[in-house]
Structure 1
Amino acid sequence: MSRRARLGRAGRDASRLVGPALFTPSLHVAADHVQVGGVCAATLLVSGYPREVATGWLEPLLAYPGRLDVAWHLQPTPAAVGAARLRRQRGRLESGRRLAAAAGRLDDPEIDAAADDAADLAGRLARGEARLFTTGLYLTVHADSVGELAEDVERVTALAHSLLLTVHPARYRMLAGWATTLPLAEDLLQATRTMDTAAVAAGFPFTSADVALPDPLRPGAAPVVYGPNLSSTGVVAHDRWAGANYNSVTLATSGAGKSYLTKIDVVRSLAQGVEAHVIDPEDEYAPLATAVGGTQLSLGAPGVRLNPLDLPAHGRSDPELLTRRILFAHTFIATLAGSPVEDPVGRAALDRALLAAYAHAGISQDPATWDRPAPLLADVTAALQAEPAGQQLARLLAPFVTGSHRGLFDGPTTSTPTGHLVIYSLRALPEELRAAGTLLVLDAIWRQVADPTRRRRRLVVVDEAWLLMAHPAGARFLVRLAKAARKWWAGLALVTQDSGDLLGTDEGRAIIANAATKLLLRQDGSAAAAVQAACGLSDGETAALLAARPGDALLVAAGRRALFRAQASPREHELITTDPVDLARRHTHPATAAEVGPVHTEARRPLTPADDADPL
């Protein structure tokens, strides 16, 4: 028997492709490798795939630092052929399930998952939402010697296993495997698998898991680098100012690193010329404000007051300015009282009391009177006491006018902080005033944002937004800000650890819908389904968030997703960390404080969705 006959059909096809080189000393064929022109090569064929994958999931193979040829053969399957194969496969799976049930055996989870996937695929094929492809994925590793080749094959195999790919060496078919990975469009191994359009698109070689950087020539481009991409070798940089709107929502459980990521966003936005206003419930931003020359206003501290009835100076040209302030006062007083004024008679009494308080201060609908000092909350309470329908509300406001909580409202506004970074600290406020204080600060910020004479990019951060979302009036105010922020070149960034409460209300869902940027960190299992539905996540992405380490986050923006790790420089980490271990170490060893490294520096890992059987 001739040598060509011994090679079999695959060898004959390979010899046809490589031509006379098969019989030259430059080509040596062994069971586990081939040697071509002095370079050794071994081919691995992929026989198993993960069930859930992210966009660009083959990027780690394409970015392998050694010489690795990745060949992906695609052949469209006719619709009639694909439908017939799918029916047969569904029949086999369902028959196996029924036989197992009749024999009293436990259900096989892999068969159940495959049957469900096959049923879903059949429905999408029937509706014309997908097509089928016959695919074959092959990896050829190259090295200068047989020993080096064996080591490289082990490394590539380990990398493939980390992606939940099952690979096998093409033993005794290395020549056919080597020829299959040449740019000749010939699949001589025929280790194929059927995939649908979505699966093929996710692994397409020109698709990357990285978020594309904005055009540097575009005016106003301000990308913020968040950290290394966990699904590729790149970094994740995002420009919120290039989106449909500039709002963002950060959802995470306690201790997942949401405040750490938010501070990274703030400090790097400042470097892009963005003016930042932060509502800080726990006084976490004070070191950052001190380091960058920002200003801080501590509500609840002695002598610090904000008058909710102030008229903004820049709105003097608005004929409805006084009416708008009275409407805000309705919202603020409802939040202060703990519940909205539902009684129409009570609302009318409150409206009359507000008009009377402004009239007593000499302010009317005439713009010439708007420069006069605004009335105080005590004036409104006195007007309410003069009306029988308003006396109950006046009693509810008494603690904030004459009682123990009067410090924030018992005088005119002391100061309106300005600057490139303004921190409004709520730590000194009692719990009963947190929601009202947050609303009051948001109003003060908005008066600066809506000033047409000082229009610029501004980022308004509301940390622990659940404090305000728990009150209906405050939640409605946030929704209005989220919808109007873009008109004034501002972005509203909401940060909360109560994902379920936010998504369980109409206002919360409206805020999510008006946020072009979503940053998701580790999620609680009870809220995972709601977050998945609201953000359009896949099962694999949801599983990654449930198992995420502190600092791991998923960016969802403009149809692009990227799993990354929030990472700060040593100096940034020193300013933004609240880790008690780091703070105690710095207090004990102040000389080495500058040497403290980033808190999030663990090794990166690729997205690893669950494995499953092939539905076809």
Structure 2
Amino acid sequence: MFNKNKNSENKTIDGTATLLDFIAPSALKITPNYMQIGEKFTKTFFIFTYPRYLNTAWLSPLINLDEIIDISIFIHPADSRDILKNLTKKLAEVKSQILLQTERGLVRDPILETAHRDIESLRDKLQQGNERFFKFGLYVTLYADTAENLGKQEEKVISLFESKLIYPKTALFQQEQGFHSTSPLLLDKLVTNINLNTEPLSTTFPFISSDLSANEGILYGINRHNNSLILFDRFKLENSNTVVFGKSGGGKSYATKLEILRSMIMGTDIIVIDPENEYQYLAETTEGSFFNISLTSEHHINPFDLPIPTEDEKPEEILRSNIVSLVGLLRIMLGGLTPNEDVILDKALTETYASRDITTDSDFSKMTPPLLEDLETVIKGIEGGENIALKLQKYTQGSFSGFLNKATNINIKNRLVVFNVRDMEEELRPIAMYVILHYIWNLVRSKLKKRLL
């Protein structure tokens, strides 16, 4: 299976590992009726008999089965001319059998009469172009941690098929070919196909599952298609981000608040940026923290705050990252920066931190971060920084001084934290959002845990 082509680019000098060496399992065992790949046991079987009539969504129980399963469907178009010849020949055989039984005076055989009607109907549809014939192969591979569990899964799957008069068979001595056939390689190594026309083939369409449920997580609602519960844990998905769309008054806020409450029960921390003051009551009811960020608010966030470095971070990286973030903030506050002003600010910010004895070798947990007014003082002493210092006075001494020129006095310890920006002036709202998001990012990076923002 994982053979190395001597003429391929993977050929290396003695002792050098290739890509195949890294992706290949530690061990591989192939037996007549199962395979062991590393620590996993696999078993492949194929379907060899179908009933006369297939219901729509007959694959649904298998697709919705709570087991690790690979299913491959191969559909190979067949030449209608060859099929018509075979049908004509088969029809003649059936007719002759019916005539022989009639001549002998035997009781009519309903099986032969049904076959006669089906063959004639199918032949007519093929001649009229209403149907086409295909060679259809359905292969299923099961996975389990032990051979015993593999056997239990096999019994469960086989019972599902046999309840619909569909009969599977283990791919004896072809487990390797079966594994390849159910891998995403587009290879039909088993080549065990059944002839199906268009109508029954359409019932094998696999995307018919309407269940939106998992074994764990929070309740999101009820599936209107089948009245089943919608349960899932967003943190176990490949990407846990979500977006909520809906018309005005459709229940977006209600659904979001309900998810917040149920997530808190499961131990998840919640951080909300509230532009319309919708979450104050929720925060107060759940004994959470509510911070009103505005010019006249008693709650303040100092953009010069530095997070405590984690085990895989260096103080130098933290300080440099925060200086870059502050340059971005000042670019918004000052309405843009020239290249010369950018250089001046980068130098001034480093000196501002140094004025509080904060350097790349400092212990940030024991240091008091500077304020915006400290940056203004430093810039005044730098050649070419007079214009920047003048612009900063609006935020340190002017009408906006109550917003950014204060030490941080909020403490996030509760499970639910709400930042309200409704009362913030429109001109300052982008700045407030920038500061809040930077504060939240420093919080998130300092301690990894389940959080919803």
TM-score by length of 1: 0.40
Q: Which residue of 1 aligns with 2:320?
A: 323
The answer to whether the 8 Å contact 1:289/1:296 transfers is: yes
Q: 1:364 to 1:202 in 2, by over 3 A?
A: same
Q: Which residue of 1 aligns with 2:283?
A: 289
Q: Which residue of 1 aligns with 2:209?
A: 208
Distance in 2 between residues matched to 1:442 and 1:407, nearest whole Å: 19
The answer to whether the 8 Å contact 1:134/1:194 transfers is: no
Amino acid at match of 2:334: A
Name the % identity.
29
Distance in 1 between residues matched to 2:342 and 2:314, nearest whole Å: 25
Q: 1:58 to 1:373 in 2, by over 3 A?
A: same
Structure whose alpha-carbon radius of gyration is higher: 2
Distance in 2 between residues matched to 1:196 and 1:346, nearest whole Å: 70
Aligned: 1:353 with 2:354: no
Any unmatched runs of 5+ in structure 1?
1-44, 50-55, 60-73, 85-130, 136-181, 186-191, 217-222, 461-616
Distance in 2 between residues matched to 1:380 and 1:374, nearest whole Å: 11
**Partner deviation per Cα, 1:323-362 (whole Å, 9 max, x = no partner):** 22212212222233354x3x33221111011112112223
Which residue among 230, 234, 237 is the counterpart of 1:243? Answer: 237
Which residue among 331, 334, 338 is the counterpart of 1:334? Answer: 331
Distance in 2 between residues matched to 1:254 and 1:388, nearest whole Å: 54
Deviation at 1:389, TM superposition (A): 4.3
Aligned: 1:425 with 2:420: yes
1:60-459 map, 5 Å: 78-81=77-80, 194=199, 200-202=204-206, 207-214=208-215, 216=216, 223-252=217-246, 254-300=248-294, 301-313=296-308, 318-320=314-316, 321-339=318-336, 341=337, 343-368=338-363, 371-387=366-382, 389-452=384-447, 455-459=448-452
The answer to whether the 8 Å contact 2:289/2:412 transfers is: yes
**Partner deviation per Cα, 1:492-532 (whole Å, 9 max, x = no partner):** xxxxxxxxxxxxxxxxxxxxxxxxxxxxxxxxxxxxxxxxx
**Partner deviation per Cα, 1:295-321 (whole Å, 9 max, x = no partner):** 111111432211000122455972323
Distance in 2 between residues matched to 1:254 and 1:332, nearest whole Å: 33
Higher relative contact order (CA 8 A, sep 6+): 1
Amino acid at match of 1:212: S
Distance in 1 between residues matched to 2:74 and 2:358, nearest whole Å: 77
Q: 1:212 to 1:369 in 2, by over 3 A?
A: closer
Instruction: State the SS of the aligned residue for 1:211.
Output: coil
Any unmatched runs of 5+ in structure 2?
1-53, 61-72, 84-131, 137-162, 167-196
Q: 1:255 to 1:394 in 2, by over 3 A?
A: farther
Deviation at 1:396, TM superposition (A): 4.3
Distance in 1 between residues matched to 2:248 and 2:402, nearest whole Å: 31
Amino acid at match of 1:237: L
Moved more, 441-450 or 247-256: 247-256
Q: 1:237 to 1:297 in 2, by over 3 A?
A: same
Amino acid at match of 1:457: K
Q: 1:303 to 1:184 in 2, by over 3 A?
A: closer
Distance in 2 between residues matched to 1:319 and 1:256, nearest whole Å: 47
Distance in 2 between residues matched to 1:351 and 1:421, nearest whole Å: 36
Instruction: State the SS of the aligned residue for 2:205.
Output: helix
Q: 1:133 to 1:424 in 2, by over 3 A?
A: farther
Q: 1:393 to 1:58 in 2, by over 3 A?
A: farther
Deviation at 1:392, TM superposition (A): 4.3
Amino acid at match of 1:330: V
Deviation at 1:270, TM superposition (A): 0.4
Q: 1:194 to 1:427 in 2, by over 3 A?
A: same
Deviation at 1:255, TM superposition (A): 4.3
**Partner deviation per Cα, 1:420-462 (whole Å, 9 max, x = no partner):** 111111112111222222222222223332224xx432222xx
Q: 1:306 to 1:209 in 2, by over 3 A?
A: same
Instruction: State the SS of the aligned residue for 1:268.
Output: helix
Q: 1:315 to 1:437 in 2, by over 3 A?
A: farther
Number of equivalent positions: 287
Distance in 1 between residues matched to 2:58 and 2:229, nearest whole Å: 15
More helix by share: 1
Distance in 1 between residues matched to 2:373 and 2:441, nearest whole Å: 24
Distance in 2 between residues matched to 1:457 and 1:338, nearest whole Å: 36
The answer to whether the 8 Å contact 1:132/1:194 transfers is: no
Instruction: State the SS of the aligned residue for 2:225.
Output: coil
Q: 1:255 to 1:347 in 2, by over 3 A?
A: farther
Distance in 1 between residues matched to 2:58 and 2:282, nearest whole Å: 37
Distance in 2 between residues matched to 1:447 and 1:384, nearest whole Å: 26
Amino acid at match of 2:291: L
Distance in 2 between residues matched to 1:290 and 1:303, nearest whole Å: 17
Q: 1:58 to 1:81 in 2, by over 3 A?
A: same
Q: 1:433 to 1:397 in 2, by over 3 A?
A: same
Distance in 2 between residues matched to 1:449 and 1:318, nearest whole Å: 17
Distance in 2 between residues matched to 1:390 and 1:79, nearest whole Å: 80
1:392-541 map, 5 Å: 392-452=387-447, 455-460=448-453
Q: 1:355 to 1:77 in 2, by over 3 A?
A: closer
Q: 1:76 to 1:372 in 2, by over 3 A?
A: closer
Deviation at 1:75, TM superposition (A): 13
Instruction: State the SS of the aligned residue for 2:226.
Output: coil
Distance in 1 between residues matched to 2:378 and 2:58, nearest whole Å: 66
Deviation at 1:262, TM superposition (A): 1.8
The answer to whether the 8 Å contact 1:281/1:427 transfers is: yes
Deviation at 1:257, TM superposition (A): 3.3
